[in-house]
A and B are shown apart, each in its own frame.
Chain A
Amino acid sequence: MATSMKKADAVIVGFGWAGAIMAKELTEAGLNVVALERGPMQDTYPEGSYPQVIDELTYNIRRKLFQDISKETVTIRHGVNDVALPNRQLGAFLPGNGVGGAGVHWSGVHFRVDPVELRMRSHYEERYGKKFIPEGMTIQDFGVTYEELEPYFDFAEKVFGTSGTAWTINGKNVGEGKGGNPFAPDRSTDFPLVAQKNTISAQLFQKAATEVGYHPYNLPSANTSGPYTNPYGAQMGPCNFCGFCSGYVCYMYSKASPNLNILPALKQEPKFELRTNAYVLRVNLDSDKRRATGVTYVDAQGQEIEQPADLVILSAFQFHNVRLMLLSGIGKPYDPKTGEGVVGKNFAYQNMATIKAYFDKDAHHTNPFIGAGGNGVAVDDFNADNFDHGPHGFVGGSPFWVNQAGTRPIAGINNPPGTPEWGSQWKAAAADYYTHQLSMDAHGAHQSYRDNYLDLDPTYKDAYGQPLLRMTFDWKENDLRMTQFMVEKMKKIAEAMNPKALKVSVKGAGSHFNTASYQTTHLNGGAIMGTDPKTSAVNKYLQSWDVPNVFVPGASAFPQGLGYNPTGLVAALTYWSARAIREQYLKNPGPLVQA
């Protein structure tokens, strides 16, 4: 029998960006908020203590900040007729753990969204006709517009302390010739901080991209270009390009995180309580499954605890949100055979390709040991629908960039193609090329398909006896054609740099999803937002269609993967959802959109 805690106004499951934003917004609205985080407390000190944190073996190689998959993992299979097996070693993606979640270990690339990508299906149908979208591709509109979200993008950037260069502010061009992005949507105010300085590698990319006729711009980065105090009074230090960003706690207080940018203000708030090592098993529903009564979790001592609440926020990592909905019976599970049901539908990812360029040992000291996770120079000429897809016959776009995040000693030594993998020639090449190379990526949007989805595994269970989540996922022809197109366009930039050698990493025809090779942790969908309860799990305010006192912020709401990194849109959507809760839901609890 579970111990029952005092009822809260709101319980928040998962304390990453979405959870922290919701906690701040809801305590501001006067609610008593309990946040449950399955992992431990972690913060700049002591987890990010200098110099102990400068430790690649502990943090990146041994996965210090990531999910403990000995307790819970996912099973993975390529197709509906395959048998899924548990993912027993983190590889392709790295879900976070502990206070701050993935917001602690992320890099800090902080984009908004291309407005076209919010209305993906409508836009493609309008411009290219219905038949252009291939059979089995299930892309949808988000049901919310860029104009609606703009104030929330704007505020989130101020909270994160984002560095960047605007293109237009209220229609006025301020960024031409200064590193602004001509494809960026209009903004209401400038970035809170000027863009970071650019590494030699990013400067080379900028020059070469201009030479081939593209339009380079400064990456918007949630790594600070100087000291900063955000609207909550939370302070940041300046990024010093130490190169230990993605996978690490930032010791300079300069990479935005929930811990750094929001938690300090919440600690001053008596209406807020954060409980760590609280692993949520399920959302409890009343007998007719139309109302959540709270959640049940297991605490550090292994006891089952019930936390009653009027409002439940599922703000765990993308696939944990989906799993909790499936385990709790919130919404109808998706069935790929009939295409009916919504929970688990439209599981999508990212579609990366990489080119490395190697220079003569007398040319271009690129100092790859320095870097910042959100820093760099990019082009959007082939992102979203910034070019005519008509002749190419695929859906989706990709930004390209040099994003020098720091090349560390264990995983970072990279030699030109043809170099032996070990021995004296390997050593000689490493000595010659380590400081004379750069890497560029085509980040790549990824579309959703009828048979890429999430459900509960019929066989495997977690440490608490509950079914694991099963991923059914593989690359489709559209994705492979897109990434091959993109890498050819990006190669022009690399070739304009006059490298001694190039190494191109791109998925070939017939490639299958490889769980061992890291791509990104940008997993999307499964609890998607939309305008119709038949095709989406949550409405445009991220409110469950079926259980209206459950809200589900996160990339789980994306109907397909973006060309850009997802965190900026996750933050803006969460502020947008919180505003709807504050201004509409609390006054009149119930569905905010009538089905």
Chain B
Amino acid sequence: MKTFFSALALGLFALPAMAREVNDADLVSKGEYLSRAGDCVACHTAKGGKPFAGGLPMETPIGIIYSTNITPDKETGIGSYSYEDFDKAVRHGVAKSGSTLYPAMPYPSYASVTETDMRALYAYFMQGVEPVPQANLDSEIPWPLSMRWPLAIWRTLFAPKVADFQPTPGQDPIITRGAYLVEGLGHCGACHTPRAITMQEKALSPADGDEFLAGSAPLEGWIAKNLRGDHKDGLGSWSEEQLVQFFKTGRTPNTAVFGGMTDVVEHSLQYMTDADLIAMARYLKSLPAKDPNDKPFQADVRIAEALWKGDDSARGAAIYVDNCAACHRTDGQGYERVFPALAGNPVLQTDDPTSLIHIVLSGGTLPGLNHAPSTIVMPPFGWRLTDEQVADVISFIRTSWGNQGTPVAAKAVAKLRNNGNRTTSGTDIGWVSGSAEAAAATHH
């Protein structure tokens, strides 16, 4: 009997502690999921480095900055941060030291993350991440631009008030969930919303106007595309189902992920629940077109017919047949799930052709993912085609089969090829110029 009672007593005493551990484990695991949704790992991990230990170089208009160590290491990471310190950094953009963070940290987006989610994130970063002692790197921004006090002014002017996300009354709760993820942790606007001359995003939500998620200027050699309802260069031709497939597998029947978005799918989106992916997709599909005159894609068979008849006299057509048509086909339709369609593809119809030039020069890798294990690579063509040839073939695909893009000049190709752009994702353009100096210059 004694034994029984002791066991019972021990059991009783153990209960609260166990319950707390279980709750903590749940909270840590929820925080891990939210950190995936926020894609913290993408910026806070250097190529080949330990997760969250920082050190990834990021190009800003005033110079290179490096992401910081956010592992719970007490000396070099955020191990000494209280919840309040953590919240101040993530949602308010102010480090524990009191200095304002560079807005490369998307705290204007994170301002709407709920406190409940913030507490889960904190639990994860304190208890679920391995501490890594690794000192932060100084930025390469020259004085006087390196002074941080103007950032505080910038923050006061442009960062929104920190407040838990507020649902729009009467909205479909699925769309509301999507809005919370896209506008908040997903910080999609950080890349996909154009920025003003003063570098703030022109809109942080649909309420701020039709610039929200309307596509960016080139960043690290890529355009972050328009995510609004435009058919020409947005998501007008995409179905909700296709968006979910894209988030989960990096591929749809017609297209494949490339550039900076590859990391987002690889490190963040593929881990999210179907419910959250559907919510994000439905929310994005609820955004109207930016261009009031936007029209659906109209297929034009003339180019395909000419190529079938052996007429490759159009500018760039012969280069297309020799280099591209085996996979993308003379009718620009590609092959389902393996080789993207070019006809009607919004990426080909953006006003700024940077992404397209980048892909033709340096190729693209669709990575193997949890739900779609095959890696499919478009080889680079920069070693093989001159600036003039690249411009010709890009002009051809931007204007064929009904595509509404505009022709491209050779100097636009030369500019991208020679600027030694350093990218945090995909292949650095510097490699394709073929010069050792350019390669060395882009890889410290």
Contacts and interface: CB of A to CB of B under 8 A. Distances in A.
Contacts of A132: none
Main secondary structure of the interface of A (DSSP, over half): loop
Given A49-B379, A227-B338, A264-B368, A235 B326 contact: no
A267 B373 contact: yes
A30 B338 CA distance: 31
Contacts of B374: 233-235, 253, 260, 264
A227 B323 CA distance: 20
Interface in B337-373: 337-339, 365, 368, 370-373
A227 B337 contact: yes
A50 B338 contact: no
A240 B368 CA distance: 24
A50 to B, nearest CB: 6
Nearest to A45: B377
B338 A44 contact: no
Given A242-B326, A267-B368, A235 B379 contact: no
B327 interface: yes
Contacts of A251: 326
B370 A50 contact: no
Contacts of A50: 326, 379
Given A45-B377, A51-B384, A233-B371, 9 more contacts: A44-B377, A227-B338, A233-B373, A233-B374, A235-B338, A252-B326, A264-B368, A268-B368, A268-B370
29 contacts: A44-B376, A44-B377, A46-B379, A49-B377, A49-B379, A50-B379, A51-B323, A51-B384, A226-B335, A227-B335, A227-B338, A229-B337, A232-B373, A233-B371, A234-B374, A235-B372, A235-B374, A237-B338, A237-B376, A238-B335, A240-B326, A242-B326, A252-B326, A253-B338, A253-B376, A264-B368, A268-B368, A268-B370, A268-B373
* The 6 nearest A-B residue pairs measured at CB: A45-B377, A264-B373, A235-B374, A49-B379, A237-B338, A264-B374
Contacts of A372: none
A265 B372 CA distance: 9
B210 to A, nearest CB: 37
Given A240-B326, A242-B326, A234 B379 contact: no
A252 B335 CA distance: 11
A229 B375 CA distance: 13
Interface size class of B (residues with CB under 8 A): 20 to 34
Contacts of A209: none
Contacts of A51: 323, 384
Nearest to A267: B368
Main secondary structure of the interface of B (DSSP, over half): loop
| Most chain A C-beta atoms within 10 Å of own C-beta, residue among B365, B374, B375 | B374
Contacts, number: 60
A264 B335 contact: no
A227 B336 contact: yes
A45 to B, nearest CB: 4
Contact of A264 (B323, B338, B375, B379): B375
B246 to A, nearest CB: 15
Interface string B282-318: 0000000000000000000000000000000000000
A236 interface: yes
B7 to A, nearest CB: 35
B326 A265 contact: no
Contact of A265 (B323, B373, B384): B373
Nearest to B323: A51
A49 B384 CA distance: 13
A233 B250 CA distance: 14
Interface in A30-85: 43-46, 49-52
B337 A235 contact: yes
A233 B248 CA distance: 13
Interface in A229-271: 229, 232-238, 240, 242, 251-253, 260, 264-265, 267-268
Contacts of B337: 227, 229, 235
A264 B339 CA distance: 17
B127 to A, nearest CB: 23
B90 to A, nearest CB: 31
A225 to B, nearest CB: 12
Given A235-B372, A236-B338, A268-B370, A45 B379 contact: yes
A309 B372 CA distance: 31
A579 to B, nearest CB: 22
Contact of B376 (A46, A49, A235): A235
A413 to B, nearest CB: 23
A253 B374 CA distance: 10
A52 B368 CA distance: 23
A52 B381 CA distance: 11
Contacts of A49: 377, 379
Interface string B43-65: 00000000000000000000000
Contact of B335 (A43, A45, A232, A237): A237
A233 B251 CA distance: 13
Contacts of B376: 44, 235, 237, 253
B335 A234 contact: no
B379 A237 contact: no
A217 B379 CA distance: 37
Interface in B370-427: 370-377, 379, 384
Contacts of B379: 45-46, 49-50, 52
B241 to A, nearest CB: 17
A41 to B, nearest CB: 13
B426 to A, nearest CB: 14
Interface in A205-233: 226-227, 229, 232-233
B327 A237 contact: yes
Nearest to B336: A227
A233 B375 CA distance: 11
A264 B336 CA distance: 19
B11 to A, nearest CB: 34
Contacts of A46: 379
Contacts of A233: 371-374
A234 B373 contact: yes
Contacts of B336: 227
Nearest to B384: A51
Given A45-B377, A49-B379, A237 B371 contact: no
A534 B379 CA distance: 54
Contacts of A234: 373-374
A251 to B, nearest CB: 8
A226 B373 CA distance: 19
Contacts of B338: 227, 235-238, 253
A501 to B, nearest CB: 31
A274 to B, nearest CB: 14
A229 B374 CA distance: 9
A57 to B, nearest CB: 18
| Most chain B C-beta atoms within 10 Å of own C-beta, residue among A51, A234, A235, A265 | A235
A351 B374 CA distance: 38
A285 B441 CA distance: 54
A234 B372 CA distance: 7
B378 to A, nearest CB: 9
A370 to B, nearest CB: 12
B319 to A, nearest CB: 12
Contacts of B370: 268
Contacts of A232: 373
B313 to A, nearest CB: 22
B254 to A, nearest CB: 12
Contacts of B384: 51
A234 B338 CA distance: 11
A46 B365 CA distance: 11
A51 B327 CA distance: 12
